[in-house]
Structure 1
Amino acid sequence: MTPHPRKIGFLTFGHWQAARGSHTPTAQDALLQTIELAAEAERIGLDGAFLRVHHFGKNLSAPFPLLSAMAARTRRIELGTAVIDMCYENPLAMAEEAAIADLISGGRLQLGLSRGSPEPAYHGYEAFGYHAQDGKTIADLAREKTEQFRAAIQGAGVVPADAGNRPSAGLLTVQPQAPGLANRIWWGAGTRDTATWVGEQGMHLMSSTLLTEDTGVPFGELQAEQIALFRQAWKKAGHAGEPRVSVSRSVLPITSDFDRALFGQDSNRDQVGILDGSRSRFGRSYSGEPDRIAEELRQDPAVQAADTLLLTVPNQLGVEYNSRMLQTIARHIAPALDWRPAAEALTRV
């Protein structure tokens, strides 16, 4: 059993493309529809709206202006990222932007960070002005930046004040500060070793539909092992409270001929391949009749071990389609996972 009440939210990449059938032909369409879908998710009674951040592609990139706009249109649901590639970030600028978005939201920000995943650009972070020092990896770079970011949002002094063309004794902090934000930082881990490191660091754990390792066991079992190692490391490190864990799943209920034409041929099984030189395991999709999906998710050990389930949405199908899909999940699938909608939504959905 998870130590936290079950939460369910959606995760969007915010793809846009002027292709046949796309409801997001432009970046503006993708951005505005993401805001609308967050409002719809809150109306339905879901618990969160999360953004996947990529660069140099037709998808969501700089998250904080969008998160602030989502915050202004909602009042209850969690808003977050899953995840931000820290190799591209200036830690102090990010600390300012994150604090502003969190204050606008009233303390609802849940920030998922990571070393990133494959991008369309070759060493794209170098175009942003960042380079791994000799002898260090991009994973080292991402972790160093994360350490600076976490220190800044906890109020660590950064730079001395100017005392008449000379430095003062005290150090200035990044402003504004957002109380509690430091306790809502997550890390996207792709391996069991990284999950152990996350627990040691006292961050919450995000695990997606990709693990950059493979032991031959089904994806859900490998991910559940990752979650157990994370919790053990958290406890051993002596961190206060109970950590949170999220997993992502592609859940596509089929309730119409249109759904069947889109998703009826999904393989619904794990895939194994080589990614960045490592044998990796990709999690299956869950498509089919809602009652069958509900039972299959009940049998997924990682879904059962996590307190938060993020549903990846096919955003190019538009707000109306995705809202209807999320409502189907909320009504017919999520209750089997011991989830209940927010009380205020029960009379509206």
Structure 2
Amino acid sequence: MSARRPLSKLGFLHIVPFTRDDPARGLQEALRLFEYGEELGLDGGWIRTRHVQYGVPSAAVFLAAAAQRTRRLELGTAVIPTVYESPLRLAEDLGLADLLSDGRLQPGLSVGPAKHSDQVAENILGPGWREEDISYGRLERILGFIRGVQVDETEREIGLGGAVEMSSDRVEPHSEGLASRIWYGGGSLRSAEWAGRTGLKLLVSNICSADGFTEFELAQRAQIDRFREHHPAGERAVVSKGHVILPTDNATAQQREKFEAYVEARTPRTRYAEGARTLIARDIIGSTEEIVERIRQDLGFQGADEILIELPFQFDDADVRHIVREFAENIGPALGWSPASQSQAVK
């Protein structure tokens, strides 16, 4: 187990919530939050992906819009569940969004079964959904398309109703460098090892597989170490850790009450039950001093290069702006992080 790593980047992770009757309002609020995060000097703005819910289903579309409202901010996804995606179309969309953002996309991907009930999954994915490839092989196909693997022998002319168009020998548009910015959302020793062997970056969160451990921190740190053990870059392989962290300094009395109630309601799920297959970390709440001390003592944070502040789903715009501002102005600097310059370009 290596020593605590310096914090290189700081960003936020947002679900981009909206209402059934006025989805545009939530989307526009989120785009303004991305602008605000860049103004504060944060390194990245990330979104979750949701299907048949009140959250963004198409990360590439939203982040392409965010790219037009920002100049420097990295734009990430944590994560896109590939079971819902066509490998071809996802590779095309990510390539296009990356070019529109001038190479700022940070796509996080995952594999696994659909999260909906069997009936809902059949309704949205079709009757053959159970036969869909949900293995690492599906993600490897996507990676191949993004890397520019050959899908035809050569470029060729295609005649269409008297007109002539050119067909490429690879999936287009191709964005050079995008493949080096792919993350895998892992939470087990097996997934961490696969991500390492595949040469990806690793995203970890506040939920992980027990893998024989009874303490969350030990399980997560073992996964981070396993990832680097099998990565071609070794100790230079990059890990980002997401966590719900609620700063109470400079919060209103109403916000502090809301934050405390939120953490209290979620704490029972973090208690270990004998034989549990999944471990969940407690949310972090407190003053700048308390939060910094907690992060410094956490084995997962010690092994991570970057921190993603997970913004709670139920909080309003004023709440999430308070959280990202406290991190940018107080908590991040106390951890040794420095805000990015507005003139600094991200490549």
- Give me the TM-score of the superposition, normalised by structure 2: 0.84
Which segment drifts farther, 67-76 or 6-15?
A: 6-15
Q: Is the 8 A contact 2:17 2:27 kept in 1?
A: no
CA-CA distance at 1:314 after TM superposition: 2.9
Amino acid at match of 1:299: Q
CA-CA distance at 1:240 after TM superposition: 8.4
Which residue, 307, 310, 324 being the options, matches 1:326? Answer: 324
Which residue, 247, 267, 279 being the options, matches 1:253? Answer: 247
What is the aligned-residue identity percentage?
Answer: 32
5+ residue gaps in structure 1?
19-24
CA-CA distance at 1:229 after TM superposition: 0.6
- SS of the aligned residue for 1:252 comes to strand
Q: 1:1-349 maps to which residues of 2 (within 5 A)?
A: 1=3, 6-17=8-19, 26-116=22-112, 119-122=115-118, 126=122, 127-129=124-126, 131-133=129-131, 141-159=134-152, 172-213=169-210, 215-234=212-231, 238=232, 242-254=236-248, 255-265=251-261, 266-267=263-264, 271-272=270-271, 279-314=277-312, 316-344=314-342
* Residue matched to 1:22: none
1:164/1:202 CA distance change after superposition, 3 Å: closer
Q: 1-side partners of 2:6 and 2:98: how far apart?
A: 22
Q: 2-side partners of 1:104 and 1:278: how far apart?
A: 44
1:260/1:103 CA distance change after superposition, 3 Å: same
Q: 2-side partners of 1:278 and 1:123: how far apart?
A: 28
1:93/1:125 CA distance change after superposition, 3 Å: farther
Q: Is the 8 A contact 1:16 1:316 kept in 2?
A: no
Q: 2-side partners of 1:241 and 1:271: how far apart?
A: 30
Q: 1-side partners of 2:308 and 2:339: how far apart?
A: 15
CA-CA distance at 1:142 after TM superposition: 4.2
1:150/1:278 CA distance change after superposition, 3 Å: farther
1:155/1:193 CA distance change after superposition, 3 Å: same
1:89/1:278 CA distance change after superposition, 3 Å: farther
* Residue matched to 2:163: none
CA-CA distance at 1:27 after TM superposition: 2.1
1:218/1:13 CA distance change after superposition, 3 Å: same
CA-CA distance at 1:121 after TM superposition: 4.0
Q: Is the 8 A contact 1:246 1:306 kept in 2?
A: yes
CA-CA distance at 1:313 after TM superposition: 1.0
CA-CA distance at 1:17 after TM superposition: 4.0
Q: Is the 8 A contact 1:272 1:280 kept in 2?
A: no
Q: 2-side partners of 1:228 and 1:309: how far apart?
A: 17
Number of positions where the alignment pairs a residue of Structure 1 with one of Structure 2: 326
Which segment drifts farther, 77-86 or 154-163?
A: 154-163
Q: 1-side partners of 2:310 and 2:302: how far apart?
A: 18
1:145/1:293 CA distance change after superposition, 3 Å: same
- SS of the aligned residue for 2:89 comes to helix
- SS of the aligned residue for 2:98 comes to helix
5+ residue gaps in structure 2?
160-166
- Give me the TM-score of the superposition, normalised by structure 1: 0.84
Amino acid at match of 1:13: I
Q: 1-side partners of 2:27 and 2:217: how far apart?
A: 32
1:124/1:157 CA distance change after superposition, 3 Å: farther
Q: Is the 8 A contact 1:220 1:303 kept in 2?
A: no
Q: Is the 8 A contact 2:202 2:239 kept in 1?
A: yes
Root-mean-square deviation over aligned CA pairs:
2.9
Q: 1-side partners of 2:186 and 2:52: how far apart?
A: 23
Q: 2-side partners of 1:210 and 1:44: how far apart?
A: 28
